[in-house]
A and B are shown apart, each in its own frame.
Chain A
């Protein structure tokens, strides 16, 4: 029962945000204008990615404490799902940047952060692929994953706040910070974030079950 409830809620919330994200009225801001709707599709990807990576971080700690290989499979499944969201966030952001800033890629702290995040987790998969012994692989990749997650949070959460960014709401750019992320946007944005996190959890649980079946 519980298993079905969260999936249904996830699907409903994502459909709601996809449809009403295009229909809702938006604040009239210079430069970003209609592209502010990307808040629902692009920013929610990053929130979902951080949630997936936080989950995989938590399961890595569980593995180191209990030496349970199920926790390791959950770590791998959650990281793979997180990577999916990272690439989706990157592509939606690049398309948006092409039309708002006029370039596919700029030297912006948030863009650097996402590129580094992807490199960190690609290295994680390379590390995992190279080790034969299951327990050794789980232990070593858990150590790397914990370290990598902390560095990722530093890079995407702390450093961009110390320097100016081209992103809306930073460095005097019009955006959706406290005074203009108005309630109309919030009403769609928060459900979109929760919906995508639930969908991500669903994808990760499917990946986990596939891994459990292919292990024997």
Chain B
């Protein structure tokens, strides 16, 4: 537990030292939201609003996760091996990436509300959907990134690997968020939220079990 906390601190410090990364993500979010606004996104129907928000969040998470292991490449890999085992590494990475994504998707939702007005009828359900989706994305993208990193290939590979795997989650969360926007009865939403929670836990466990096989030389 202590090691995970220390690793999280270290990742946060690295992020702050390389502040151009977080600023470029923020600029991406503002730029893309404003681009949609210019192209007439303010007249978007509920359905398009939801789709656009998910496309923006999805690409933000791909960009964010593509840098998951940039400090563990080359000789640094052996350095991190010597200070923390694979289990601590993956737990810390998953927590860190999930929190980061929650932050980014919150900003995206805020920007969308600012430019196009908040169309959401049940904000709590919407936030739950957004949060669960971000956690699922982070798990899949982190593992895919680890695979791409260990295979010594460029960032394109991790996108190719992760894109089809994230689609089940994308499909579920966009349904939840659509329900939250039109204000569907909660028992209908609850079954989908339940299945998404189960899916997130299942892939989280799977990533935890599989990562040690990846993180060795």
Q: Do A and B come from one complex?
A: yes
Interface residues of A (CB under 8 A from B): 64, 112, 116, 119-120, 123, 126-127, 130-131, 136-137, 139-140, 142-144, 146-148, 150-151, 154-155, 158-159, 162-163
Write out the residue numbers on chain B whose beta carbons fall within 8 Å of the beta carbon of A112: 167, 171
Write out the residue numbers on chain B whose beta carbons fall within 8 Å of the beta carbon of A150: 202-203, 206
Interchain nearest-CB distance for A126 vs B (Å): 6
The 9 A-B pairs with the shortest beta carbon distances in the complex, nearest first, are A119-B164, A120-B164, A155-B168, A143-B210, A151-B165, A123-B160, A116-B164, A154-B168, A131-B151
Query: Cβ of A127 and Cβ of B168 under 8 Å apart?
Result: no
Query: Cβ of B151 and Cβ of A146 under 8 Å apart?
Result: no
Knowing A150-B203, A159-B168, the reply to whether A143 touches B157 (Cβ < 8 A) is: no
CA separation between A106 and B161, bound complex, in Å?
25
Query: Cβ of A143 and Cβ of B199 under 8 Å apart?
Result: no
Q: Which residue of B lies closest to A158 (CB)?
A: B195
Write out the residue numbers on chain A whose beta carbons fall within 8 Å of the beta carbon of B192: 162
**B interface bracket (residues with beta carbon within 8 Å of A):** 20 to 34
Interface residues of B (CB under 8 A from A): 140, 143, 147, 150-153, 157, 160-161, 163-165, 167-168, 171-172, 175, 192, 195, 199, 202-203, 206-207, 210-211, 213-214
In-complex Cβ contact of B195 among A137, A162, A163 (8 A)? A162
CB pairs A–B below 8 angstroms (14 shown): A112-B167, A112-B171, A123-B163, A127-B151, A127-B157, A130-B151, A136-B150, A143-B143, A147-B207, A148-B165, A150-B202, A154-B199, A162-B192, A163-B175
CA separation between A215 and B49, bound complex, in Å?
53
CA separation between A67 and B160, bound complex, in Å?
26
Knowing A130-B151, A140-B147, the reply to whether A123 touches B172 (Cβ < 8 A) is: no
CA separation between A89 and B207, bound complex, in Å?
31
CA separation between A214 and B194, bound complex, in Å?
48
Write out the residue numbers on chain A whose beta carbons fall within 8 Å of the beta carbon of B150: 136, 140
